[in-house]
């Protein structure tokens, strides 16, 4: 073979090799974590998305953030709203729906343009578990009454948390859940699903994809309406049967998301607890983290 031709082929070989590795580095920037579910839903980690592209795609989207501050939990609102202004959907239209029994105690926090707080006065319950569980009913009712008309997506979160890094439109999808930080690498058998068949939240030992956290889920308003309505109805049936799921609304959420697969799954970057867990090296960002609380003091 003519030596010039051979050199040409060899150069091509190395060029192809280089391009291949560049492509691998560029498109699979996270080889250290699971970036797709077995049903082809993306799992959202730092490095798998480009905010510039997504911000343009979601430019005309309005996002509703639901948060409950019932009884003493109103103390969490100020930091929650302040940090949301810094990190949550910056540059997009946002409505904070604050559900509370103490509207006079909702702090006024300066908001950027295109963002507003809507206070929704609701009843309280004596037990913290009932407060937590009835969020499903209240989100369902208000979705029908007004969220369907007012926003495109709903993001439903706990209030005893703060935003500490970017949480943007990369999370938006028809139906999304978040990997619970305590179980993202646990075996299916160790997930704390409801295991009693008498409960509507029951999940058999040989089923289950992930263990999702009760404190961060969402989707289009229609999907969230269906999810919250189904979970509420399941809790009504449980109550009539004298049984309460082991982790309350979170157990029902897990059952729902097992049989209605989420279209996106958020990594534990989106829900972390620095006091409970040691941060593993592949957790590059902590976007939404628990605020330390004295359980006995705040719940009673
Ligand atoms: C981070 C996370 O995944 N949290 C879940 C976890 O509980 P947590 O231990 O984080 O529960 P929690 O005390 O934060 O209660 C859940 C939420 O209910 C609201 N609240 C509760 C009591 C009260 O008196 N006033 C009030 O407003 C508040 O928005 C609070 O954030 O398990 C719960 C069910 O057991 C829920 O599924 C939570 O979403
Ligand atoms: Mn909480």
> pLDDT digits over 96-109, tens only?
999 999 999 999 99
Contacts of residue 251, defined as CB under 8 A and 6 or more positions apart, other chains included, come to 193, 194, 199, 201, 245
Evaluate whether ipTM surpasses 0.90: yes
Rounded Cα–Cα distance for residues 149 and 255 (Å): 28
Residues paired with residue 281 on neighbouring β-strands, in sequence order: none
Least confident of 104-108, 116-120, 237-241, 290-294: 290-294
Residue 182 Cα to ligand 2 middle (Å): 13
Q: Please check whether residue 22 lies inside any domain of the structure.
A: no
Compute the average pLDDT of residues 134-142.
99
Query: How far apart, in whole angstroms, are the C-alpha atoms of residue 214 and residue 178?
Result: 8
**Distance (Å) from CA 18 to ligand 1 centroid:** 50
Pairwise CA distance, residues 24 & 291, whole Å: 38
Tell me if residue 145 is catalytic.
no
Residue 25 lies in a domain: no
pLDDT band for 47, please (50, 70, 90 cuts). Answer: very high
For residue 27, being part of any structural domain is answered with no
Cα(217) to centroid of ligand 1, in Å? 13
Q: Which residues form the domain of 195? A: 37-299
pLDDT tens by residue, 155-194: 999 999 999 999 999 999 999 999 999 999 999 999 999 9
Choose the catalytic residue: 85, 137, 170, 250: 250
Q: Is the CB of 153 under 6 A from ligand 1?
A: no
On whether residue 124 sits in a domain, the answer given is: yes
- Domain assignment present for residue 245? The answer is yes
| Structural domain count, the chain | 1
Does residue 252's CB lie within 6 angstroms of at least one atom of ligand 1? no
Does residue 185 fall inside a structural domain?
Answer: yes
Q: Percentage of the chain surpassing pLDDT 70?
A: 91
Would residue 63 count as lying in a domain?
Answer: yes
* Nearest-atom index, ligand 1, CA of 135: 18
Q: Which of 67, 121, 132 to mutate to test the pocket of ligand 1 (most atoms within 8 A of CB)?
A: 132
Q: If you ran DSSP here, which 8-state letter would residue 42 be given?
A: B
Q: CATH number for the domain including 226?
A: 3.90.550.10
Whether residue 141 is contained in a domain is answered as: yes
């Amino acid at each position: 073979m003519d030596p010039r031709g051979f050199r040409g082929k060899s150069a091509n070989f190395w060029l192809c090799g280089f391009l291949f590795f560049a492509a691998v580095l560029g498109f699979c920037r996270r080889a250290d974590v699971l970036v797709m579910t077995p049903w082809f839903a993306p799992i959202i980690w730092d490095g798998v998305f480009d905010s510039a592209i997504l911000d343009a795609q979601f430019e005309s989207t309005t996002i509703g953030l639901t948060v409950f501050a019932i009884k003493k939990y109103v103390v969490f609102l100020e930091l929650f709203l302040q940090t949301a202004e810094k990190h949550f959907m910056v540059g997009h239209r946002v409505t904070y729906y604050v559900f509370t029994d103490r509207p006079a105690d909702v702090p006024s926090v300066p908001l950027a343009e295109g963002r507003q707080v809507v206070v929704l006065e609701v009843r309280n319950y004596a037990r913290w578990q009932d407060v937590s569980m009835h969020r499903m009913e209240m989100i369902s009712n208000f979705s029908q009454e007004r969220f369907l008309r007012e926003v495109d997506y709903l993001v439903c979160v706990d209030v005893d948390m703060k935003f500490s890094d970017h949480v943007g439109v990369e999370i938006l999808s028809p139906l999304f859940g978040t990997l619970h930080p305590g179980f993202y690498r646990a075996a299916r058998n160790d997930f704390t699903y409801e295991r009693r068949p008498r409960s509507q939240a029951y999940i058999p030992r040989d089923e289950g994809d992930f263990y999702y956290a009760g404190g961060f889920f969402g989707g289009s308003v229609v999907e969230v309406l269906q999810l919250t309505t189904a979970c509420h109805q399941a809790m009504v049936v449980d109550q009539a049967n004298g049984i309460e799921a082991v982790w309350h609304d979170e157990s029902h959420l897990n059952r729902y998301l097992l049989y209605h697969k989420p279209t996106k799954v958020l990594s534990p970057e989106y829900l972390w607890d620095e006091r409970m867990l040691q941060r593993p090296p592949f957790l590059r960002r902590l976007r939404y983290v628990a605020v330390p609380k004295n359980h006995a003091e705040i719940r009673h």
